[in-house]
Structure 1
């Protein structure tokens, strides 16, 4: 993550300072709440506005945009910005002025909506099933007479699972027909003159350029396709995978994708500018010409992979619904927001169909994102589960992909440090202080340059718990460090925390094995009566302020002074 000089006051953690610490993966403080009133977020909004307006003034922003930042703790977006580029204000079709309700095409952002609906209908319990159970027309058994059995020349569909398709691990082609260089006669002649071999009629896709492929043409094309790699070998992006998942969803439910979209997402979430088909032109931003912008291109059965229309306001509503578990349960959402595969980049992983980008500074923070491109349209939805917040960007114009990528970088650079600072500030007010009863006490604070809530003093009657823990770990008491991190376990009036109890080294090892964070392995190692010394519980009032702390292994509640 690039860190600009103007961000330094907002960053709560020093990179050098966090090196000896090994927090558990996940939030280091409870997600900040009521961000609309947060001074840290107010400063971030001013900075983001300045960055965009500087780009406009310099002539570097030539595409129309609509973006929103939102939080699960706020009912409405906490920041909105729309810009109408000259190509929009002078357009002969569509809106002249972009707003939060302006409709864009979201391209492959549609895959996220498809998976959302898939989970709503199946709870993800079908991910290990072969896809042929739900799309039997792909089965080699159903096509035995055609002998699609060679592992080199034909995909072994009976061995491809739903989950592999959802996470781009099926090893199948990116598309069928759409984008094929051999679709038009003119293209064929040009390529043959360049030395490409003459294709037989059966080798030329019958669809994809002039018109979308029918289900029969697409399935036949997939049966004729050879695998790119074997299943679960490496992620390779596939639009075709999500077209197949669209068929599976329809077969599982007995309903059309369009109906499922309306009943599953649009109506429950009150989305007013999202649709399967092109809306009235008066609602959309339509730059350039029809052949350039793809506004009116019908992608047919590939719509689940990349054909939906939406607005920034509706995209933010979808993001909030995911963060707030509005349609899925919290447990289902947590299972969904986990990686299924690495990529060749250490800071990028793949989910269903999340594109998970990991920041390493000031700590490991995973952003669950989904981008999309179609013609002159580009979209981004990014969620930070650690902060219960996210942002969306929609862009239309000739360089929309570059615009969304750059803005995503810039917003992340500003927003994540601000969210970290807001979470730290709120945690200090909610939990820091001294808790005492009789001769037992515990003092909790948050340090400027370290993660989590620090246990700075802890006494059980006349016994110093740091000395006790050091003797149990055979460590130097001065090296013992105890920090509390949210456990995600929360009920009205109570919030759970899990401590990381470390013997801090004088220096941080840089070796691959010796330098690895292993606190996830050592957690819950010191247990008394089946309860770990690292298990803590805060009792809180209606405002979320801690009134007492419970070191659960010690079976006592210490009131806050």
Structure 2
């Protein structure tokens, strides 16, 4: 990546912003939207917050009746429902283990082909199951002519259920017959990801099994009610509640029935923002559990995309931030005929973003809107992060006896730049560099936050890491020279890590710091001057 000189460790460069103000008007936003062919016939609603503080909203009404306040209007979120299904599984961890085989919870599945298909593989799209099962089989689509693409006449009779939303709902035995049919058995388990809707149908069945209630009620009890999502449901809304197709439009507004765990939820932008804020603030899962959930589970050919459970993780590098680097966006997209949605978390900036659209080109609309909104939103948050870090941490810190001192600066690099650290009269950076096999001349270091969100309000732990400034080919094959995750906690003294720095915080500002390996007594604290 051009101009990326530093090799920061994994994690945040600086703490997320607090009390971020509204996003300024996005330059030429309305004019840009009007340039898209979908604009005049697509209803869209966008909401975003940072740290739970509302920062942006935009709504465009495409002239349909009964849509009123778009932020409180139900729009089908389609496959974003998968986030709710996986969250319900995680909230049921006492009954459903991530490595448990699905056969433990869905009696009737063939033992041999499903014995190693785990809950985690289903959630992470590596179960080897296909996309739809019976749904969408061309042989059952009304009016489809196989001859038009050279297909032979049907020789394999399908039951005719669950072929499309609104069709006849398959019975439990018919659903199991599909999963046990040789044509639909999982293949290449735990290899590369293959997007599967029916995998989440199985997760829904597992939830029903352990909770002894229907899937829809499980979601109501575990998620909707605790968060207060009063305008979210699986039932098709009325015209007064939601955006519905007009005569002649073939939108998927009918109940999804057996496919509810995969894509059946209707929700409003306000409800969805509340949901994402609840995830970001750890209302339902702890911080550690949430971080684990966000970890990717599979790689993709693209350097900028990863797959999670069920996250679609983007790592764009073209966002206008002070330190050029990949920014991790944990997203889930949903789209069916007539409806589309994006749910987005950006933990580094505590950003939550939801984008809803209704119209024949709804999916195209949310795909276009994601970068148009996310890029300026992240840039806005990044600028405030650096300004807040400067106010809170930057300055010179000196011990009472004057034998220890350090200056911290917010510059155009990652973290906080460490200038001239002296401990007990000794300039420590050259020696630390020598210990790590680095050049001592011009040795420099930076501080990076550790355990963001886990520290107390009065003390914050940070990591001091020596700079290994590299550019271009000097980074080596596959950027071997930037293995920063392997550089932390490089040495300890009397049990204390040499790279650990603890800030003492008073009334939201750093008042002092400890270099813990150099002493933690009151006389060893460096006070900000």
TM-score (norm. length: structure 1): 0.86
Please give the per-residue CA displacement for 1:81-105, whole angstroms capped at 9, x wherever unaligned. 111013x2xx4xx32x342101100
- Whether contact under 8 Å (1:493, 1:540) holds in the other structure is yes
Q: Shift of the alpha carbon at 1:559?
A: 1.1
For 2:200, the equivalent position in structure 1 comes to 242
For 1:315, the equivalent position in structure 2 comes to 272
Could you tell me which of 147, 166, 174 is aligned with 1:217? 174
Q: Shift of the alpha carbon at 1:194?
A: 4.9
For 2:153, the equivalent position in structure 1 comes to 198
CA separation of 1:57/1:128 partners in 2, compared to 1, >3 Å: closer, same or farther? closer
Could you tell me which of 400, 409, 414 is aligned with 2:362? 400
Q: Shift of the alpha carbon at 1:504?
A: 3.4
For 2:189, the equivalent position in structure 1 comes to 231
For 1:453, the equivalent position in structure 2 comes to 416
Could you tell me which of 136, 142, 145 is aligned with 2:107? 136
Distance (Å, rounded) in 2 between the aligned partners of 1:335 and 1:124: 19
Is 1:51 equivalent to 2:51 in the alignment? no
CA separation of 1:108/1:507 partners in 2, compared to 1, >3 Å: closer, same or farther? closer
CA separation of 1:401/1:133 partners in 2, compared to 1, >3 Å: closer, same or farther? same
- Whether contact under 8 Å (1:266, 1:272) holds in the other structure is yes
For 1:21, the equivalent position in structure 2 comes to 6
CA separation of 1:475/1:169 partners in 2, compared to 1, >3 Å: closer, same or farther? closer
For 1:70, the equivalent position in structure 2 comes to 49
Distance (Å, rounded) in 2 between the aligned partners of 1:508 and 1:200: 58
CA separation of 1:60/1:217 partners in 2, compared to 1, >3 Å: closer, same or farther? closer
SS of alignment partner, residue 248 of structure 1: helix
For 1:11, the equivalent position in structure 2 comes to none
Is 1:379 equivalent to 2:364 in the alignment? no
Please give the per-residue CA displacement for 1:238-263, whole angstroms capped at 9, x wherever unaligned. 00000110000111222221211221
SS of alignment partner, residue 553 of structure 1: helix
CA separation of 1:106/1:403 partners in 2, compared to 1, >3 Å: closer, same or farther? same
For 1:160, the equivalent position in structure 2 comes to 117
Distance (Å, rounded) in 1 between the aligned partners of 2:474 and 2:208: 53
- Whether contact under 8 Å (1:275, 1:310) holds in the other structure is yes
CA separation of 1:179/1:507 partners in 2, compared to 1, >3 Å: closer, same or farther? closer
Could you tell me which of 407, 418, 424 is aligned with 2:380? 418
Distance (Å, rounded) in 2 between the aligned partners of 1:412 and 1:378: 17
Distance (Å, rounded) in 2 between the aligned partners of 1:162 and 1:464: 54
Could you tell me which of 516, 522, 525 is aligned with 1:552? 516
Distance (Å, rounded) in 1 between the aligned partners of 2:505 and 2:439: 34
For 2:23, the equivalent position in structure 1 comes to 42
- Whether contact under 8 Å (2:310, 2:332) holds in the other structure is yes
- Whether contact under 8 Å (1:501, 1:534) holds in the other structure is no
Unmatched 5+ residue regions in structure 2? 319-323
Could you tell me which of 173, 180, 187 is aligned with 2:130? 173
CA separation of 1:510/1:249 partners in 2, compared to 1, >3 Å: closer, same or farther? same
What are the residue-to-residue correspondences of 1:434-449 with 2, within 5 Å? Answer: 434-437=396-399, 438=401, 439-447=403-411, 449=412
SS of alignment partner, residue 317 of structure 1: helix
Distance (Å, rounded) in 2 between the aligned partners of 1:409 and 1:102: 24
For 2:321, the equivalent position in structure 1 comes to none
- Whether contact under 8 Å (2:396, 2:405) holds in the other structure is yes
Q: Shift of the alpha carbon at 1:185?
A: 6.4
Is 1:281 equivalent to 2:239 in the alignment? yes
CA separation of 1:484/1:123 partners in 2, compared to 1, >3 Å: closer, same or farther? farther
Is 1:118 equivalent to 2:89 in the alignment? yes
Distance (Å, rounded) in 2 between the aligned partners of 1:24 and 1:61: 42
Is 1:529 equivalent to 2:484 in the alignment? no
Is 1:330 equivalent to 2:287 in the alignment? yes
Q: Shift of the alpha carbon at 1:511?
A: 3.1
CA separation of 1:516/1:245 partners in 2, compared to 1, >3 Å: closer, same or farther? farther
Distance (Å, rounded) in 2 between the aligned partners of 1:165 and 1:311: 27
Distance (Å, rounded) in 1 between the aligned partners of 2:57 and 2:142: 47
CA separation of 1:417/1:124 partners in 2, compared to 1, >3 Å: closer, same or farther? farther
Higher mean C-alpha deviation, range 276-285 or range 423-432? 276-285
Distance (Å, rounded) in 2 between the aligned partners of 1:124 and 1:527: 41
Please give the per-residue CA displacement for 1:390-423, whole angstroms capped at 9, x wherever unaligned. 2100000111111100000111221122221111
Please give the per-residue CA displacement for 1:277-305, whole angstroms capped at 9, x wherever unaligned. 1122211122443652222x121011110
Distance (Å, rounded) in 1 between the aligned partners of 2:154 and 2:72: 47
SS of alignment partner, residue 393 of structure 1: strand
Distance (Å, rounded) in 1 between the aligned partners of 2:307 and 2:472: 33
SS of alignment partner, residue 490 of structure 1: coil
Is 1:83 equivalent to 2:51 in the alignment? no
CA separation of 1:125/1:484 partners in 2, compared to 1, >3 Å: closer, same or farther? farther
Unmatched 5+ residue regions in structure 1? 1-14, 141-148, 150-155
TM-score (norm. length: structure 2): 0.91
Q: Shift of the alpha carbon at 1:22?
A: 0.6
